[in-house]
Amino acid sequence: MAIPLRKPQEIAKLHKAAALVAQTLDYLQKNICAGMTLNEIDKMGEAYLCSLGGKPSFKGLYGFGGSVCTSLNEVVIHGLPSEQKVAQGDILGLDIGSNLDGYYGDAAITIPIGEITQADQQLIDCSKDALYYAIDSIHVGMRFKELSKILEDFIQERGYVPLRDFCGHGIGTKPHEEPSIPNYLDGKPKQGPKIKNGMVFCIEPMVCQKSSTPVVLEDKWSVVSQDGLRTSHYEHQIAIINNKPVILTQL
């Protein structure tokens, strides 16, 4: 399938949807505290997103039971909200999607709950720094596989490994579109589609400590690393405008 090239008016609509995600993530980061349940966090995020005029695009998507992916500690992505409480020293991944007038936004962050260890902070920093480094490396004409290699190299140079079998993606009038953008190189970097003006996509480094192998938990959603150790995840939605990457999910 061809990767859509969005017109400026379409990108403007996507930017509005993405802005709702950025605002909601900022709101959650400022208001989550130890003792809250993942269900409470999910409902708080949904209510705030709706108050801004958007709809939570993850709710019911592929059968997902929440509006916010709440990925606690060892869960790297797709954490299903539950009655589990967050505690001081935890790290929590928050992934939110929005639907505004048929256009979609999507981003994720990993946040500390109170004071965390230096090791956990370094883990969070890796996913965040990898994301911004990759965005700064984007230019028109490069291939998506080159971008995947940049992400993989950065993560490995920090002493971590990227989660396999899950990836970033295109986004537009559907929450997930072409292309798929793994955080690791599969094949050769000079293969596959090139980045062009008008493309809109999400990059989302998913960082594990020792094992890249994913394991899906009994809830059928939450994904952990086979090593059972803590993980981190960051994501931004990017548009290519005038040959440059523009972050749509940024305050």
pLDDT surpasses 90 at 149: yes
d(CA 52, CA 50): 5
Whether residue 157 lies inside any domain: the answer is yes
Residue 15 lies in domain: 8-247
> Which pLDDT belongs to residue 1?
65
pLDDT surpasses 90 at 69: yes
Whether residue 142 lies inside any domain: the answer is yes
Q: CA torsion angle for 154, 160, 161, 166 (degrees, to 10)?
A: -80
Which amino acid type is present at position 170? G
Q: Number of H helices and number of E strands within the chain?
A: 4, 15
d(CA 127, CA 114): 19
Whether residue 1 lies inside any domain: the answer is no
What total number of domains does the chain contain? Answer: 1
Kindly report the pTM of this predicted structure: 0.97
Average pLDDT over residues 62-81: 98
Helices (H), the chain: 8-31, 38-51, 118-137, 144-157
Whether residue 55 lies inside any domain: the answer is yes
- Closest by CA to 119, choosing from 151, 91, 95, 87, is 91
Whether residue 2 lies inside any domain: the answer is no
Whether residue 120 lies inside any domain: the answer is yes
The CATH number covering residue 85 comes to 3.90.230.10
Whether residue 181 lies inside any domain: the answer is yes
